[in-house]
């Protein structure tokens, strides 16, 4: 059955010890259900990814001390910031956390310099100006210290917010959708600057984002959240190509997910019976023969055969069908392939010039191969009934 929105799922995976980094375990039933765990080592960027309402920002607020979960524990740098059982709950001011909000939360009546100085109450008054100037230079804003937020671009305001967050030498940097308010060109530049900056910061960075590409580009590890629950944590590649179950596959936008049954389970390969054929899957089998499963494959694992010469993967799970949908997005052509008897389209992506050279259009017959090492077998879930929209 589908999950109930008010029901707390099973407990999240136990945390791996992180001696000097960030360790978080949070549980509550209301107002937003949480059953989340994450750890982040110094120098690591950990992305929290999930749809709206999945609890990403709530977790960030809990770490910063702006919200208290009913149960759980937060440690950073070896110190306990929050422990519900022990009734420890440090104030936001007592937690060494730098927080960058989605819309920056700068004081509009203060200059960039003064905005950063406002975070330096822990320093003697005479030392604050030099520290603020140093931090603004670090984020490439030298010469703009006197400007107020309204006189700065969105990207420059974001840099001021980062400078302010880092001015207190925090033990953790928390970024809440920091790039969502800027245009695409500025966002790409800020990505590069954050990547450069993080190499100089020996502290955990937690990034909240709904953008999978952003998470994959910027993070060392990512956690997928749904209704407040930690579903899977791993490297971006692991999570996006080897999702733990069909729900995670849906949340990371794996378009090709189907129901099947294990036909054979050998030492190094698995055969999956699907739509009248048996697909060869590379790797040690995780399910016994006869088990009902789901399988998925990233669009990059579906190879289009060229018409003018055979593909190297021509004999690797070849499938015939026709193009049902064809959508050109930038330099790529996204195609939905209809296969007789299959319950849904199989999606693939090729360079637009390749599609044109092969005269690919809606209604055209095509042949593809499914790479055996790209096919991923998951526990079964009723895709027609139990999956969220």
Per the CB < 8 A criterion, the answer to whether 227 and 69 are in contact is no
Res. 74 pLDDT band, cuts 50 70 90: very high
Question: How confident is the model at residue 104, as a pLDDT?
Answer: 80
Res. 192 pLDDT band, cuts 50 70 90: confident
Distance in angstroms (rounded) separating the CA atoms of residues 296 and 256: 5
Radius of gyration for the alpha carbons in the chain, expressed in angstroms and rounded: 25
* Burial grade of 23 (CB within 10 A; 0-12, 13-18, 19 or more): buried
Q: Which of 66-70, 92-96, 237-241, 265-269 has the lowest mean pLDDT?
A: 265-269
pLDDT in tens, 81-118: 999 999 999 999 899 999 998 888 899 999 999 999 99
Supply 41's token pair. 């080592």
Return the number of other C-beta atoms located less than 10 Å from residue 25's C-beta: 24
CATH 2.40.50.100 segments of the chain = 248-379
Question: How confident is the model at residue 243, as a pLDDT?
Answer: 97
* 248-379 topology per CATH: OB fold (Dihydrolipoamide Acetyltransferase, E2P) (2.40.50)
Element (H, E) at 129: helix 125-138
Percentage with pLDDT > 90 across the chain? 68
Instruction: Kindly report the average pLDDT of the chain as a whole number.
Output: 88
Longest dimension (CA), the chain: 77
Supply 17's token pair. 């010890």
As a whole number, mean pLDDT of residues 274-278 equals: 95
Question: How confident is the model at residue 312, as a pLDDT?
Answer: 55
CA torsion, ordered 305, 307, 308, 314, to nearest 10 deg: 30
Supply 64's token pair. 């910063």
Distance in angstroms (rounded) separating the CA atoms of residues 317 and 346: 13
The more confidently predicted of residues 266 and 221 is 221
pLDDT in tens, 318-353: 999 999 999 988 889 999 999 999 999 999 999 998
As a whole number, mean pLDDT of residues 296-316 equals: 78
Distance in angstroms (rounded) separating the CA atoms of residues 194 and 192: 5
Cα distances (angstroms) measured from residue 105 to each of 97, 120, 157, 176, 197: 16, 16, 9, 11, 21
CATH 3.40.50.300 segments of the chain = 22-247
Phi first, then psi: give them for residue 215, nearest 5 degrees: -65, -45
| Beta strands at 79-83 and 365-370: parallel, antiparallel or unpaired | unpaired
Distance in angstroms (rounded) separating the CA atoms of residues 132 and 197: 17
As a whole number, mean pLDDT of residues 137-143 equals: 91
Question: How confident is the model at residue 20, as a pLDDT?
Answer: 76
Q: In the sheet where 269-274 sits, what is the strand order?
A: 277-282, 269-274, 256-265, 292-297, 376-379
pLDDT at 223 over 70: yes
Res. 72 pLDDT band, cuts 50 70 90: very high
The residues that bridge with 99 in the sheet, in sequence order, are 174
Q: Which of 27-31, 287-291, 331-335 has the lowest mean pLDDT?
A: 27-31
Is 22-247 in CATH node 3.40.50.300?
yes
Question: How confident is the model at residue 235, as a pLDDT?
Answer: 97
The residues that bridge with 45 in the sheet, in sequence order, are 205
Res. 202 pLDDT band, cuts 50 70 90: confident
């Amino acid at each position: 059955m589908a999950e109930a929105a008010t029901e707390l799922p099973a407990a999240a995976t136990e945390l791996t010890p992180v001696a000097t980094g960030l360790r978080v375990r949070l549980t509550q039933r209301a107002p937003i259900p949480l059953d989340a765990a994450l750890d982040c080592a110094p120098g690591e960027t950990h992305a929290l990814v999930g749809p709206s309402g999945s609890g990403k920002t709530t977790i960030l607020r809990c770490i910063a001390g702006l919200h208290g979960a009913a149960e759980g524990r937060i440690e950073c740098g070896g110190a306990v910031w929050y422990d519900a059982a022990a009734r420890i709950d440090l104030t936001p001011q007592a937690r060494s956390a730098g927080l960058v909000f989605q819309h920056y939360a700068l004081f509009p009546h203060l200059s960039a310099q003064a905005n950063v100085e406002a975070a330096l109450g822990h320093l003697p008054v005479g030392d604050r100006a030099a520290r603020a100037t140093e931090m603004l230079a670090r984020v490439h804003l030298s010469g703009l210290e006197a400007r107020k937020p309204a006189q700065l671009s969105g990207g420059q305001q974001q840099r001021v917010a980062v400078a302010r967050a880092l001015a207190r030498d925090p033990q953790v940097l928390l970024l809440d959708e920091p790039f969502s308010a800027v245009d695409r060109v500025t966002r790409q530049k800020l990505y590069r600057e954050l990547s450069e900056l993080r190499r100089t910061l020996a502290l955990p960075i937690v990034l909240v984002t709904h953008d999978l590409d952003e998470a994959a580009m910027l993070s060392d590890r990512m956690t997928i959240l749904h209704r407040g629950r930690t579903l899977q944590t791993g490297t971006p590649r692991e999570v996006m190509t080897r999702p733990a179950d069909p729900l995670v596959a849906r949340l990371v936008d794996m378009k090709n997910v189907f129901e099947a049954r294990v036909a054979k389970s050998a030492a190094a390969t698995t055969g999956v019976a699907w739509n009248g054929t048996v697909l060869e899957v590379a790797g040690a089998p995780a399910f016994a023969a006869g088990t009902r499963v789901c399988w998925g494959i990233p669009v990059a694992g579906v190879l289009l055969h060229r018409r003018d010469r055979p593909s190297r993967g021509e004999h690797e799970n070849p499938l015939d069908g026709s193009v049902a949908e064809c959508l050109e997005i930038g330099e790529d052509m996204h195609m939905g392939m209809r296969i007789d008897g299959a319950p849904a389209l199989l999606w693939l992506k090729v360079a637009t010039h390749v599609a044109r050279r092969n005269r690919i259009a809606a209604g055209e017959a095509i042949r593809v191969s499914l790479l055996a090492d790209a096919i991923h077998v998951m526990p079964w879930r009723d895709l027609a009934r139990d999956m969220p929209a």
